[in-house]
Structure 1
Amino acid sequence: MTAEALRPLERLLHEQDEAQLTPEEYKAVFRRHAAGVAVVALRDGERPVGFTATSVISVSAAPPILAFSLAATSSSWPAISRAETLAISLLTSNQGDISARFATSGIDRFADGGWRALDTGEPVIEDAGAWVRGRILQRLPVGDSYLVTIRALEHGTSESAGPLVYLDRNYHPVGDYEI
């Protein structure tokens, strides 16, 4: 998208003449919205980089496009801004500890294992319900975040536990689940 095409969106975001939610009000709303939990991971040179995301969405099946958002202030943003490809692992109900580790700042999120590198180098979480390796198509600045779109290139699935869901600052398994 060109800078010219973004101007109307920027104007809408920054030149509001109507009341809008405060950040606290907005967060309170989305604490009531259950979201699947994923780990987004990539190689930045020789170093693996990864973070927990609850904003992964399916955008299109043909072509296969998915997206996630990431705060511009995230410690992972510089690596995402340079990356060509990445992997997204969709976590299962018994992987809350992995999600918490990849959501923790200031630690080596990969030190405790539980992941493997694909032949192409991107890290995926072992025993994830599914993973997708993709090529980054766009990094669209929106508010104080970036919307990152990815074309799915490869995938893997597992018949392990059901999905992990995040709701009101806590992890929750999804009842009895069969594939």
Structure 2
Amino acid sequence: MSLANTVPHMGGDIDPRKFRDVLGQFCTGLTVVTSMTDGAPTGFTCQSFSSLSLDPPLVVLCPSKSSTTWPRIRNSGRFCINILADHHETLSDRFAVSGGDKFTDIEFGSSPNGSPLLPDALAWLDCTLHAEYDGGDHSIVVGRVHALDAVSDSRPLLFHRGRYARTAEQ
């Protein structure tokens, strides 16, 4: 059977709402990308994150071009990706909004490159900016991983159909 016989023709524009709804069927994990910029901690929630390469060790993340935080992190040239645990909904919400001091009342550690490590993260990856590409209304950022660790055995915080989700109890 040929794919040409099973895939419908995709003519015309794609409705943005339908696009979001369809892609919302794909469950993703959640991260907070952090850095020190101008001597202060900064960060943003990012669900578009994936491994890219083992040799060299590369990851990819896709911040929105409307982000006011990513340009500051880009200028620092280094960042830490904190993978969130299932009890981090409030933390994810806090870092998903623009403006304000997102680190108020958060005690954080420091990664080897000096970026904030969030408390009780499942894992973290310390990166430098390797490359950045245009991706429509997002940027495609490639980070070179220099250090990493898995530090918790909690379950991940997930995002599915526009809301938080969790893995089943085992």
Give TM-score scaled by structure 1 length.
Answer: 0.83
Counterpart residue number, 1:67: 60
> 2:14 & 2:99 partners in 1: Cα distance?
31
User: Is residue 157 of structure 1 aligned with residue 150 of structure 2?
Assistant: yes
What are structure 2's unaligned runs of at least 5 residues?
1-10
> 1:23 & 1:77 partners in 2: Cα distance?
24
> 2:105 & 2:164 partners in 1: Cα distance?
20
Q: CA deviation at 1:114?
A: 4.3
Counterpart residue number, 2:32: 39
CA deviations over 1:43-89 (Å, ceiling 9, x no partner): 11212110001101111112111010011111113213312110000
Identify which range, 123-132 or 74-83, moves more after superposition.
74-83
- Match of residue 89, structure 1, among 82, 91, 105: 82
Counterpart residue number, 1:11: none
Give the share of equivalent positions with the same residue, in percent. 26
Counterpart residue number, 2:122: 129
- Residue pair 1:81, 1:139 contacting (<8 A) in 2 also: no
CA deviations over 1:101-142 (Å, ceiling 9, x no partner): 111223211112042222532011111110000111011111
Counterpart residue number, 2:4: none
Equivalent pairs counted in the alignment come to 161
Map residues 6-25 of structure 1 onto 2, 5 A cutoff. Answer: 18-25=11-18
> 1:149 & 1:88 partners in 2: Cα distance?
12
- Residue pair 2:112, 2:126 contacting (<8 A) in 1 also: no
- Residue pair 1:69, 1:148 contacting (<8 A) in 2 also: yes
Q: CA deviation at 1:167?
A: 1.0
> 1:146 & 1:82 partners in 2: Cα distance?
14
User: Is residue 145 of structure 1 aligned with residue 145 of structure 2?
Assistant: no
> 1:115 & 1:21 partners in 2: Cα distance?
42
What are structure 1's unaligned runs of at least 5 residues?
1-17
- Residue pair 2:78, 2:113 contacting (<8 A) in 1 also: no
SS at match of 1:78: helix
Call closer, same or farther: CA 1:38–1:137 in 2, change over 3 Å. same
Counterpart residue number, 1:171: 164
- Residue pair 2:24, 2:162 contacting (<8 A) in 1 also: yes
